[in-house]
A and B are shown apart, each in its own frame.
Chain A
Amino acid sequence: MDPRAWRRFKKNKGALFGAVLVIFVTLLGALGPLVAPHDPNEQSRDVLLRDDGTPLGPTWDRAEGEPAEGHLLGGDTVGRDELSRLLHGGRVSMQVAYFATAIAVFLGLFVGVSSGYFGGAYDFAVMRLVDVVLSIPFLLIAITIQRVVDTPALWALFVLLGFLSWTTLARVTRSKTLQVRELEYVQAARALGMSEARVLLRHVLPNVLGPAIVIGTTLVAQMIIVESAMSYLGLGVQPPNASWGSMLREGQEMMGSANRLMVFPAVLIVMTVFGFNLMGEGLRDAFDPKD
């Protein structure tokens, strides 16, 4: 990889801000459950629900006679600690996004590099497969499969998302490989009798890694959105577990009397996606400064 890339990246304020957001939400996902003050699924119906059934507000918005301390962000619709749910929900969203992206990047790189490098009938066949997968309406197929599977477990969700989103990456890395393959040093390496595998790993892969990282970063953002959308539709995490998307949906029930239940997860989702997109933009400019 190009050592100048990091210098260029550092100069880009927007990208750095994005990176800070990304680190923040990643830490939230990794450490959130450890610092969560309560069990996110425990319903304290007597404490966290007021007499009229509305959830207890955050500490700065409590009436007299209500406990002033504890449960920083109040309760949710059935009396669970909102803060703990946000912290646990973050992990689910992050997990899905990162694992799905990892699968997609691995698949995309493998398919793209190999088909670009070896070409021929294999290349043709694989690229037609990419066309097919690209033509599938993403959310529709995700929903269908999630419906057919009896137990929609979390891992099923990210495997599914991963297997449906490697195609763009495969196309981009393929074209990059086609380009690199013809360069003199690759030709030289082959002429010297290096094995195909070594040429691929040593000379081709490092050159396509840049675009792969850029696409991977934006993929994470996409995955967060898709996971939220699916959980919002009730197809993501299963009750009583939380993810930011499902919390957004749950908050809808209280829209008008406790808007914070929708606002908190929404702000976190926006923050995450925004961070990843900014960082992705910055990375692209850093790796590929042609214009």
Chain B
Amino acid sequence: MRSIPRTSPRRNTRLAIVGIASLVSITCVALTITGCPKRPDGPRYQEAGNSTPRSGGTFVFHHESNVRTLEPHIAYDELSGMAVRLVFDGLLDYDHDAQMIPSIAVAMPTVSNEGKTFQFRLRDDVRFHPMPGLPEGRPIVAEDVNWSMHRLLSKDVGSPGYPFFKSIVGAEAYHRGEAANVTGIRVIDTHTIAFDLMEADQTFLNAMAMTFAYPVPKENYEHWGDEVKYHPVGTGPFVFEEWERGVQISFTRNRRYRDSNRANPDRMIFQENLSRGVAALRFQNGGLDSIHRQNTADFLLFKQSEKWAPYRLEYPRVSTFGIGMNCEIAPFDNVHIRRAVAHAIDRAGWSRARSGRLAAATQILPPQLAGYDENLEHAQRYDLELAREEMRLAGHPDGLDEEIVTWVTEGDVGRIYGELFQQDMEKIGLNIRVRQVSFATYLAETGKPRQVQAFFTGWNMDFPDPSNFIDILFHSRSIHPENSENRAFYRNPEVDRLLDEGRAEVDRERRLSLYRQANNIIAHDAPWAFTYYPMTMEVWQPYVKNYRPHPIWSEDYRDVWLDLPRRRADARFLGTRFPNAVPAWAPFGGVRSLAGRSARGAARGTAR
């Protein structure tokens, strides 16, 4: 616009003709595209046909968001977890049947003192990866577990995992800085460590299997200081290689892993910030080895393709999504309005608009979890008459005039859910304004009291126990001036009591019945309008072997091996950055910049 190039009138006529021609051709091309979408159908590369597992090759996976930290004490979102679990091992782990199994521990811990003392014995063949000053790494000992747990529990670190370990004797005093040590953690010999709890806690072993409790080497932390989140060193099957921030993280196979029979790719590449559409295209081209989220068009394409059928799995994720309503501020301080919202959501219609990828949610606990009650008395269901009745009971039969601001996260998916919600609320006279905010803002503001009226929210399971959902989301203990996990600010003394009893109860049946009662009360009080349990589809390349979605960990690629066909193995450039394509000058520049603070529970609220 700064200078206007001049053209003669005659040239102008010619220009116009060219212009008209191009407009016509654009329209033609456009209409052609509308008519026939054509994309490669089926995998581009097949498997080589080896039946015995073998190591080698490069496995490339992705996520649509960016990784904030690789520090297990801080990481609390699904995508950091994807990376952390490659590099680190815990004392305990879960197998593919969701059963807890020992990992660094020799066996499951011995329990004594009426369920209040747990004693772990560590394997003696587990080594930390090489780190600064220790090019060969070193064996892990009980003192490492001790040091790691102390670090996790200290206030300075600010681990979001701290609340899970509060039941250890002396943990709270240490966290407040009143004690130099946690008295309840005792190193017994080089390979034995014991934990004393204040009272029996049925979720302690679950907590010990969380990524927060993964042991880390002290030397690495002393060397790197705050930078350690970019330089993870653990005992896991893969060694961290390099992190180009916001682009990709690479890992190499741990050749000294304790299980030498293991077959794994020589290299793993984790690409960050890859949007769904782009990821699907790369995957079809053979540049990605697995995808786990698709936009609607791609979802249907993979779902309807015969050729992809053996390499995909559609399954319900253990998560619950809903609309959180702040119980402390108008209009949702009125339980009837909350109930009206819960009954006005046309869950089947939502699912239709999302290609059937949502199962209607009736309660906070998802169906796979113990405590879920199919015949829950106060289950939330779409029932417009009931919703209108609740609006009458609330004293607003014609609805409310004021706008209700509902927060959703950025992006298309957030907007779509916002629009679906708007439409449903219109039917009971609630006027919704959708506000799209960044995920960081969303987390910060919804975690403060009296800030946000309503918000889209969700919870992914950390460990298979009802307390992981109910306690964290609805216990009044989860309310804080900042970073509340109880974002609905829901308080009910009866629920608190049931949950406290449930946490300690040893008898499984009695325990579950306590959670069922709490579940029912919460569904009736409707701090959330439960909307859906998401279905997910994962697709992988034919040459990706031994991959099954894990029941606890999302996108767990630790056991994968590659049966690469020659063609794919030779491919240097597939429209994606392969390790060979990483420029030599790249290594550290990206890593040092941008010290992104880990957002608490990051990626949990993101709508699918």
A-side residues, CB < 8 A to B, are 8, 11-15, 17-18, 41-43, 45-46, 49, 51-54, 61, 77-79, 151, 168, 214-215, 218, 222, 234, 238-240, 249-250, 252-260, 263, 266-267, 270-271, 274, 278, 281-282, 284-285, 289, 291
Tell me the bound Cα distance from A158 to B31 in angstroms.
Answer: 32
Stretch at the interface among B187-195, B413-421, B459-467: B413-421
- Cβ B298 vs Cβ A263 within 8 A: no
- Cβ B12 vs Cβ A54 within 8 A: no
Tell me the bound Cα distance from A49 to B9 in angstroms.
Answer: 51
A238's contact among B34, B297, B433, by CB below 8 Å, is which?
B433
A15 and B419 in contact, given A253-B412, A256-B39 (Cβ under 8 angstroms): no
- If A53-B357, A234-B411, A267-B26 are given as contacts, then 18 extra A-B residue pairs at C-beta distance below 8 Å, sorted by A number, are A11-B9, A13-B13, A41-B423, A77-B353, A168-B2, A214-B4, A234-B436, A239-B436, A252-B295, A253-B295, A254-B295, A254-B297, A258-B297, A267-B27, A281-B7, A281-B12, A281-B15, A285-B9
Contacts of A249 in B (CB 8 A): 412
Contacts of A215 in B (CB 8 A): 1
12 A-B pairs whose Cβ atoms sit less than 8 Å apart in the complex: A12-B16, A14-B15, A17-B19, A45-B352, A78-B416, A239-B415, A239-B419, A240-B422, A253-B295, A255-B295, A289-B9, A291-B8
- Cβ A284 vs Cβ B37 within 8 A: no
- Cβ A282 vs Cβ B419 within 8 A: no
Interface string of B394-434 (1 = CB under 8 A from A): 00000000000000001110011011101100000000011
A239's contact among B1, B6, B357, B422, by CB below 8 Å, is which?
B422
Tell me the bound Cα distance from A168 to B420 in angstroms.
Answer: 43
For chain B residues 1-41, which have a beta carbon within 8 Å of chain A? 1-2, 4, 6-9, 12-13, 15-17, 19-20, 23, 26-27, 30-31, 33-35, 37, 39
Contacts of A260 in B (CB 8 A): 34
Query: Is B354 interfacial (CB-CB < 8 Å)?
Result: yes
Q: How near does chain B come to A45, taking the closest CB pair, in angstroms?
A: 4
Query: Is B98 interfacial (CB-CB < 8 Å)?
Result: no
Q: How near does chain A come to B327, taking the closest CB pair, in angstroms?
A: 23
- Cβ A77 vs Cβ B8 within 8 A: no
Most chain B CB neighbours (cut-off 10 Å) among A18, A238, A255: A255
- Cβ B39 vs Cβ A77 within 8 A: no
Tell me the bound Cα distance from A133 to B342 in angstroms.
Answer: 50
- Cβ A14 vs Cβ B27 within 8 A: no
B16's contact among A17, A43, A168, A234, by CB below 8 Å, is which?
A17
Query: Is B183 interfacial (CB-CB < 8 Å)?
Result: no
Q: How near does chain B come to A104, taking the closest CB pair, in angstroms?
A: 11
Q: How near does chain A come to B168, taking the closest CB pair, in angstroms?
A: 44
Tell me the bound Cα distance from A239 to B418 in angstroms.
Answer: 8
- Cβ A238 vs Cβ B434 within 8 A: yes
Contacts of A14 in B (CB 8 A): 12-13, 15-17, 19
Query: Is B198 interfacial (CB-CB < 8 Å)?
Result: no
Tell me the bound Cα distance from A284 to B301 in angstroms.
Answer: 50
- Cβ B416 vs Cβ A253 within 8 A: yes
- Cβ A77 vs Cβ B296 within 8 A: yes
Contacts of A49 in B (CB 8 A): 352-353
- Cβ B433 vs Cβ A282 within 8 A: no
Tell me the bound Cα distance from A284 to B8 in angstroms.
Answer: 11
- Cβ A263 vs Cβ B31 within 8 A: yes
Q: Which residue of A lies closest to B418 (CB)?
A: A239
A267 and B30 in contact, given A14-B15, A53-B352 (Cβ under 8 angstroms): yes
Most chain B CB neighbours (cut-off 10 Å) among A49, A257, A278: A257
- Cβ B34 vs Cβ A240 within 8 A: no
Contacts of B19 in A (CB 8 A): 14, 17, 274, 278
- Cβ B419 vs Cβ A45 within 8 A: no
Query: Is B277 interfacial (CB-CB < 8 Å)?
Result: yes
A12's contact among B9, B27, B39, B434, by CB below 8 Å, is which?
B9
Tell me the bound Cα distance from A68 to B433 in angstroms.
Answer: 35
B296's contact among A12, A54, A267, by CB below 8 Å, is which?
A54
B434's contact among A239, A258, A281, by CB below 8 Å, is which?
A239
- Cβ A15 vs Cβ B12 within 8 A: yes
B-side residues, CB < 8 A to A, are 1-2, 4, 6-9, 12-13, 15-17, 19-20, 23, 26-27, 30-31, 33-35, 37, 39, 277, 295-298, 300-301, 346, 349, 352-357, 410-412, 415-416, 418-420, 422-423, 433-434, 436
A253 and B27 in contact, given A168-B2, A239-B415 (Cβ under 8 angstroms): no
- Cβ B300 vs Cβ A257 within 8 A: yes
- Cβ B420 vs Cβ A259 within 8 A: no
- Cβ B30 vs Cβ A234 within 8 A: no
Tell me the bound Cα distance from A256 to B297 in angstroms.
Answer: 6
Q: How near does chain A come to B18, taking the closest CB pair, in angstroms?
A: 9
Q: Which residue of A lies closest to B416 (CB)?
A: A78
- Cβ A285 vs Cβ B12 within 8 A: yes
Nearest 7 CB-CB pairings of A with B: A14-B16, A53-B355, A256-B297, A257-B297, A45-B349, A260-B34, A263-B30
- Cβ A15 vs Cβ B16 within 8 A: yes
Tell me the bound Cα distance from A187 to B295 in angstroms.
Answer: 68
Q: How near does chain B come to A154, taking the closest CB pair, in angstroms?
A: 14
Contacts of A291 in B (CB 8 A): 6, 8
- Cβ A256 vs Cβ B352 within 8 A: no
Contacts of A214 in B (CB 8 A): 4
Tell me the bound Cα distance from A151 to B403 in angstroms.
Answer: 12
Q: Which residue of A lies closest to B14 (CB)?
A: A14
- Cβ A12 vs Cβ B12 within 8 A: yes
Tell me the bound Cα distance from A52 to B299 in angstroms.
Answer: 10
B23's contact among A46, A234, A274, by CB below 8 Å, is which?
A274
Q: How near does chain A come to B282, taking the closest CB pair, in angstroms?
A: 14
B356's contact among A41, A52, A222, A281, by CB below 8 Å, is which?
A52
Q: How near does chain A come to B275, taking the closest CB pair, in angstroms?
A: 9
- Cβ A52 vs Cβ B355 within 8 A: yes
Contacts of A42 in B (CB 8 A): 423
Q: How near does chain A come to B353, taking the closest CB pair, in angstroms?
A: 5
Tell me the bound Cα distance from A235 to B180 in angstroms.
Answer: 51
B20's contact among A17, A41, A46, by CB below 8 Å, is which?
A17
Q: How near does chain A come to B451, taking the closest CB pair, in angstroms?
A: 13
Most chain A CB neighbours (cut-off 10 Å) among B17, B296, B346, B349: B296
- Cβ A263 vs Cβ B33 within 8 A: yes
Tell me the bound Cα distance from A51 to B357 in angstroms.
Answer: 12
Tell me the bound Cα distance from A215 to B1 in angstroms.
Answer: 9
Contacts of A234 in B (CB 8 A): 410-411, 415, 436
- Cβ B34 vs Cβ A168 within 8 A: no
Q: How near does chain A come to B608, taking the closest CB pair, in angstroms?
A: 13
- Cβ B39 vs Cβ A270 within 8 A: no
Tell me the bound Cα distance from A264 to B353 in angstroms.
Answer: 21
Tell me the bound Cα distance from A161 to B206 in angstroms.
Answer: 55
Contacts of A79 in B (CB 8 A): 352-353
Q: How near does chain A come to B594, taking the closest CB pair, in angstroms?
A: 19
Q: How near does chain B come to A5, taking the closest CB pair, in angstroms?
A: 12
Contacts of B415 in A (CB 8 A): 234, 239, 250
Tell me the bound Cα distance from A215 to B13 in angstroms.
Answer: 20
Q: Which residue of A lies closest to B281 (CB)?
A: A256
- Cβ A45 vs Cβ B353 within 8 A: yes
Contacts of B349 in A (CB 8 A): 43, 45-46
Tell me the bound Cα distance from A291 to B410 in angstroms.
Answer: 51
A252's contact among B4, B15, B16, B412, by CB below 8 Å, is which?
B412
Contacts of B33 in A (CB 8 A): 259, 263
- Cβ A43 vs Cβ B419 within 8 A: yes
Contacts of A252 in B (CB 8 A): 277, 295, 412
Q: How near does chain B come to A232, taking the closest CB pair, in angstroms?
A: 11
Tell me the bound Cα distance from A256 to B31 in angstroms.
Answer: 13
Q: Which residue of B lies closest to A79 (CB)?
A: B353
Q: How near does chain A come to B283, taking the closest CB pair, in angstroms?
A: 13
A53 and B356 in contact, given A239-B418, A240-B423, A259-B34 (Cβ under 8 angstroms): yes
